[in-house]
Amino acid sequence: AMAADDPATLVARPGFGFGASQALIAENARFLPGGVSSNFRLGMAEGPLVFRRGDGAFLVDADGNRLIDYYCGMGATILGHTPPEVTTAVRAQVEKGILFAGQTEVEFEAARLLCARIPSAERLRFASSGSEAAHAAVRIARAATGRRSVIKFEGHYHGWFDSILWSAAPPLNAAGPADAPVPVPGSAGQDAADAAGLEVIGWNDAAAVEARLARGDVAALLMEPAMCNQGAIAPAPGYLERVREACTKAGTILVFDEVITGFRLHRDGAQALFGVTPDLSIFAKAIANGFPVAAVVGRAELMDLVVTGGVVHGGTYNAQPVTMAALVATQRALTPERHARAGARGQRLQDGLRAALSEAGLTAQVAGFPLMFHVAFGPDEPARNYRDVAAADKAAYVRFARALLRRGVRVLERGAWFVSTEHDDAVIDATLDAVRAAAREVADG
């Protein structure tokens, strides 16, 4: 069904059809397994959708549906889908050239900008994906400490590489006891040898971190500073501070994975919001508003190991000039005032969601941060860790997500909502109209 452009009309009828997308996926699955290029695009509402264009807070799909988008490119498009500042800068750079196998002044400008803003960034190296940046951070930490062991946390995701894709979303019947989680591979084809030295513990338990690090053999402790791949869970009061102190005492490198939290929780990173500075951090997603840029940043003596310490870090597309132009334009456009205005609207959306679900008689938790939050059906109190998130009624939430999609609002079925600067008051109002209708539909069964 073709929807009108006025956002206020998007909830007029729950009749959005997706047959054209479904036909295109089926046809092109002959060439692309599943019709997609990332497994994380499988299993979504109405099947993977095919999009023709984006416009601010909206996407237009192959059926002509104009959908309010809360995927935001899995969190990347913090300025919306067509920010003129970014598209103008990218066009200008494309005209100058695409890839030089050398350095550019726009790369230096991008590095200076991030080092000036991010507390942990004395030096940085660019990469093309968060997975690559996480891999580099672990390599640097092992080289710096001469140790092998790496600690990660249950429910935290740091990329799809064999060495780290463990216990990111483990089924609880395989995950072992909460106080001694068993590493669970995230994919077929992984081998226990891939996780040599990797240990998994539960998050938001400072005493567990302190006890493990006291043995003095851990190279790196890697975490999302707020747990945002599963849920949107803030660190408990004092947790990050105690982890920082324990890492310092044990000589362990503290690594923050800010792929999602960076630029969403605060324009200078969650580390600025929480006031805790790690040794290394990784950034991606919203760093360049959808262009493939990532960065590993950190203390000078650690980062310099890629020059003086024999640590290899490479990549043909690292600091590709077009993506660097996008980064600079994105970060300059993301002023404190613009970030705060978007955050206020994101908070209004959260508050409206909470009220609408309650009015419909649905027990749900709406928790997180203004530009990234999570909705879970079932729990009667906020989640503290992965096991709390895993206990939610996922099937009921999927019904809600699909009811929203039929009313022109696209949300991730895992419960995450990403908000951009282009989700203005009219878009928020239209969304809440759809939410109220979808909540009544789910409540009525």
Tokens standing for residue 256: 């923050």
Q: Is 285 a catalytic residue?
A: yes
Q: Which of 285, 386, 388, 397 is catalytic?
A: 285
Tokens for 349, please give them.
């959306």
In this structure, the number of other CB atoms found within 10 A of the CB of residue 196 comes to: 11
Number of residues assigned to the chain: 445
Looking up tokens 């237009």 gives: 60
Which residue is listed with tokens 């030096």? 123
Q: For 201, phi and psi rounded to 5 degrees?
A: -135, 165
Whether 199 contacts 151, CB under 8 Å: yes
Name the residue among 223, 240, 233, 226 with its Cα closest to residue 269.
Answer: 226
- Assigned token pair, 369: 């941060």
CA 312 to chain centre: 26
Q: Could you say which of 157, 239, 386, 397 is catalytic?
A: 157
Give the strands of the sheet with 149-153, arranged side by side: 123-127, 294-298, 280-283, 253-257, 218-223, 149-153, 198-201
Name the catalytic one among 69, 257, 279, 388: 257
Contact by Cβ (8 Å): 282, 257: yes
Catalytic residues: 157, 257, 285
